[in-house]
Structure 1
């Protein structure tokens, strides 16, 4: 198995553990407009559409059970990642030609990682983020604060200083309130 497929398997396993422990799929999340089920819907719906626009076929998972939907979708993505022919492709993106592996790594794997926090918070769990990965993301994303704000993909980014934990800093950078908790 290639390195990207290995990292994906670990990420989806952790996200799947969080999803399997959700007891209220209608619970609010740190993303004001979303309920817990919307986190899974987001992750399972945007990637097949984006890849189709690049000529890559990824089956769309279907169903009403968010945890089962996640398992089906992540298995589809894992099969794609383990397909050496597909992973050797170069695709056309809005930023020009890029290896498919880079597109999946930069956009999709990062999205799973960040949204695991949303689902964990919505369901009263710990995201279980790797602190080294978090610190690296904070370092890499902080200089892109204005671009993040202008993308419309995040809430209003806030840069916190080093007195805050790396997790709090990353959460604030993607426009979430590090102290968010569901209302009782």
Structure 2
């Protein structure tokens, strides 16, 4: 198993545990993402998994998030893991908003990173432990703060990538001496 696949599986394990821990009456809870409930966070993650499959002409198994959030995530996860386990599919080049890269690199930079950030959203919405893996926080801080200012402006602009698509919110000021997780969350537009 390669580094990207291993990182994805570790992050998917953590996200799946959060989904499994959501109580039936918490799915409508407001998440830190202004327009999303806890269920919407999972729906977004599942939908993003589907987008990662498109370059290799694969599709998600139809498990509706509205009926079975955990089952939908597990099906989406299995589909992405199948791509990561297939060297021909994983190493295929594809066009992305960030430029041309391999399918596995896009999975790593998009949906794998989303598992960490939206895992925090789901935890916050449902009263779970909000602590992110420190290695993930460091990695995401480094990659996110390295995004050029003009690109970050586009990422912070609602609908820049299509109707209803928001990548990051406006930066939330966090003290410079705050824990790195809080600084990361503030940088991407969350109030830690």
Q: Same fold (TM over 0.5)?
A: yes
What is the RMSD of the two structures over their aligned residues, measured on CA atoms?
2.0
Counterpart for residue 80 of structure 1: 83
Seen in structure 2, the aligned counterparts of structure 1 residues 94 and 18 have a Cα distance that, compared at 3 Å, is closer
Seen in structure 2, the aligned counterparts of structure 1 residues 61 and 175 have a Cα distance that, compared at 3 Å, is farther
Are the equivalent residues in 2 in contact too, given 1:48–1:58 (CA < 8 A)? Answer: yes
Q: Post-superposition shift, 1:137?
A: 1.8
Q: Matched residues in 2 for 1:16 and 1:48: separation?
A: 17
Counterpart for residue 35 of structure 2: 33
Q: Post-superposition shift, 1:159?
A: 5.4
Are the equivalent residues in 1 in contact too, given 2:46–2:76 (CA < 8 A)? Answer: yes
Q: What does the per-residue CA deviation read over 1:144-165, in whole Å, with 9 as the maximum and x for residues that have no partner?
A: 3434323531211235343111
Q: Post-superposition shift, 1:143?
A: 4.3
> What stretches of structure 2 of length at least 5 have no aligned partner?
161-165
Counterpart for residue 62 of structure 1: 63
SS at match of 1:34: coil
Q: Post-superposition shift, 1:93?
A: 2.6
Q: Post-superposition shift, 1:50?
A: 5.4
Counterpart for residue 7 of structure 1: 7
Q: Matched residues in 1 for 2:50 and 2:86: separation?
A: 16
Aligned length in residues: 177
Q: Matched residues in 2 for 1:121 and 1:11: separation?
A: 17
Are the equivalent residues in 2 in contact too, given 1:44–1:61 (CA < 8 A)? Answer: no
Q: TM-score, length-normalised on structure 2?
A: 0.83
In the alignment, is residue 127 of structure 1 matched against residue 130 of structure 2? yes
